[in-house]
């Protein structure tokens, strides 16, 4: 099962140019992989083969630059994030004069966790992420299935359009949709008017009420940007489902829904897990689209955890408070993603 997972759209592409390229397509992948795995296994100290035989220190030298850089820009900042979260650096003055900063233990945490706004933001993020992940996965799956049903030319047309959508940067997406949903001259309002709205519909302000602005407009914008990856990826996964399996299920009298539920879903499940996890990661920390949509100053009603962090930390210099928020954000994400990491490690262990 997990062999299919990794190989669905991935391996079909990866081996371009490798000598094993032609043979390495999905079904024949297991036997092709085997020599490579043994090559790694054989490469025990003393019996190392091929390029760089001998020299125990060589791999460490090779990963050294990566390790140094990642310690500098990731590990150390992470450490100082926790360090900062136990201090009271909540003004710019305390930042430039470290003498003014003090360790206050868990006081920073009680302060942030005792703040009603923090919980509002966390809840809003959870709801918003759930809405985005569910809607984009369902829509992505429906359109992926649709692409399997339509004529070739229609499929090519859709995929071409999707590629262009995929290429649009998030900030640009936000900027363009701010214009599309504008209350003066916005095309959405005008189309609504053409379809029988009154004159006042022409100047309807989509952003007046943050609930609509976030859960409707921002959601549309973010899902619009997410669909190309999901539709193209899921469609590629669907084409990996062996037609014989579907045939067999139908001959045995399974209904369409049953075939989908008991044949298609299990086969593409590994890919579904990865896509859902990626969607979760992207949607939970979404920032640029909302930021651009709200003209670089999102109102508090639009604050998800990312924007809250930015407003607290960068805009109003509450460095310690926003560190606490960051810690909460990381923990929330890791809690959800533990199962995903397990899955990826399993896949990684195979090749």
Partner 1 sequence: MAATDVHAEPATAPAGPAPKVRLKARVTGESRVMTWIWNSVALAFAAVMGFPIYWMIITTFKTNKDLIAKDPTFWPSSFSFDSYTTIFDDPGFLSGLQTTVLITLGSVLLGVAVGFLAAVAVARFNFRGRNFFIVTMLVIQMVPLLAIIIPLFLVMKSANLTGTILGVVLAYLVFTIPYVIWTLRSFIVNIPAELDEAAMVDGCTKWGAFFRIILPLTLPGLITTGVYSWIQAWNEFIVANTLLSGGGKQTSMIWLTFYSTTPTRGADYGAQMAGALMVSLPVIILFVLFQKKLSAGLTAGAVKG
Per CB under 8 A, the segment of 110-118, 123-131, 181-189, 211-219 that binds partner 1 is: 181-189
Whether 102 contacts 289, CB under 8 Å: no
Task: Check residue 99 for interaction with partner 1 (CB under 8 A).
Answer: no
Q: Return the closest-CA partner of residue 288 out of 298, 301, 299, 280.
A: 298
Q: Report the alpha-carbon distance of residue 26 to residue 175 in Å, rounded.
A: 41
Binding window for partner 1 (CB under 8 A); candidates: 50-58, 111-119, 121-129, 210-218: 50-58
Min separation Cβ 335 and partner 1, Å = 11
Binding segment for partner 1 (CB under 8 A), chosen from 118-126, 128-136, 206-214, 327-335, is 327-335
Instruction: Give 58 or 106: the residue with its C-beta nearer to partner 1.
Output: 58
Distance of CA 92 to the CA centre of its chain: 33
**How many whole angstroms separate alpha carbon 302 and alpha carbon 219?**
12
269 counts as binding partner 1 under rule CB under 8 A: no
- Residue 135 as a binder of partner 1 (CB under 8 A): the answer is no
Here's the x/- map for partner 1, 59-88, by CB under 8 A: it reads as xx-xx-xxx-xx-xxx-xxx-xx--x----
Contact between 286 and 222 (Cβ < 8 Å): yes
Our finding on whether 295 is near partner 1 (CB under 8 A) is: yes
Is position 267 an interface residue for partner 1 (rule: CB under 8 A)? Answer: no
State yes or no: residue 241 binds partner 1 (CB under 8 A). Answer: no
Q: CB of 179: closest distance to partner 1 in angstroms?
A: 5
Region of 254 (left: φ > 0; alpha: ψ -120 to 50; beta: rest) is: beta
Give the whole-angstrom CA distance, residue 208 versus residue 175: 17
Tokens of 29: 């992948």
Binding to partner 1 by residue 187, rule CB under 8 A? Answer: yes
Nearest approach, Cβ of residue 291 and partner 1 (Å): 7
40 near partner 1, judged by CB under 8 A: yes
Q: Does 301 bind partner 1 (CB under 8 A)?
A: no
Give the Cα separation of 43 and 62 in Å (integer).
16
Using an 8 Å Cβ cutoff, are 81 and 326 in contact? yes
- Piece in contact with partner 1 (CB under 8 A), picked from 17-25, 99-107, 114-122, 209-217: 17-25
Are the C-beta atoms of residues 131 and 338 closer than 8 Å to each other? no
Number of residues in contact with partner 1 under rule CB under 8 A = 143
Is 153 in contact with 246 (CB distance < 8 Å)? Answer: no
- 302 sits near partner 1 (criterion: CB under 8 A): no
């Amino acid at each position: 099962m997990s062999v299919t997972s990794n190989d669905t759209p991935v391996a079909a592409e990866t081996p371009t140019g490798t000598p094993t390229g032609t043979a390495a397509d999905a079904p024949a992948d297991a036997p092709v992989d085997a020599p490579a795995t043994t090559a790694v296994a054989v490469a025990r100290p003393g019996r190392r083969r091929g390029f760089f035989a001998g020299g125990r220190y060589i791999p460490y030298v090779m990963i050294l630059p990566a390790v140094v850089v990642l310690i500098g820009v990731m590990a150390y900042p992470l450490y100082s994030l926790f360090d900062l979260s136990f201090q009271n650096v909540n003004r710019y003055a305390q930042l430039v004069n470290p003498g003014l900063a003090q360790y206050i233990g868990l006081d920073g945490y009680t302060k942030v966790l005792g703040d009603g706004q923090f919980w509002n933001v966390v809840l809003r993020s959870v709801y918003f992420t759930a809405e985005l992940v569910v809607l984009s996965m369902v829509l992505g799956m429906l359109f992926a299935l649709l692409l399997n049903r339509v004529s070739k030319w229609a499929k090519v047309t859709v995929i071409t359009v999707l590629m262009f959508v995929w290429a649009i940067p998030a900030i640009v997406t936000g900027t363009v949709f701010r214009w599309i949903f504008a209350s003066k001259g916005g095309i959405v309002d005008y189309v609504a008017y053409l379809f029988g709205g009154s004159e006042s519909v022409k100047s309807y302000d989509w952003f007046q009420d943050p609930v609509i602005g976030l859960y409707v407009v921002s959601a549309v914008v973010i899902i619009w940007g997410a669909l190309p990856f999901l539709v193209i990826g899921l469609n590629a996964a669907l084409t990996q489902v062996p037609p014989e399996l579907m045939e067999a299920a139908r001959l045995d009298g399974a209904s369409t829904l049953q075939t989908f539920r008991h044949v298609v879903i299990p086969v593409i499940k590994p890919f579904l897990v990865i896509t859902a996890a990626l969607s979760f990661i992207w949607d939970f920390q979404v920032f640029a689209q909302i930021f651009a949509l709200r003209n670089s100053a999102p109102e508090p009603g639009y604050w998800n955890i990312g924007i809250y962090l930015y407003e607290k930390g960068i805009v109003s210099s509450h460095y310690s408070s926003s560190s606490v928020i960051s810690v909460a954000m990381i923990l929330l994400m890791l809690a959800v993603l533990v199962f995903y990491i397990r899955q990826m490690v399993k896949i990684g262990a195979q090749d």
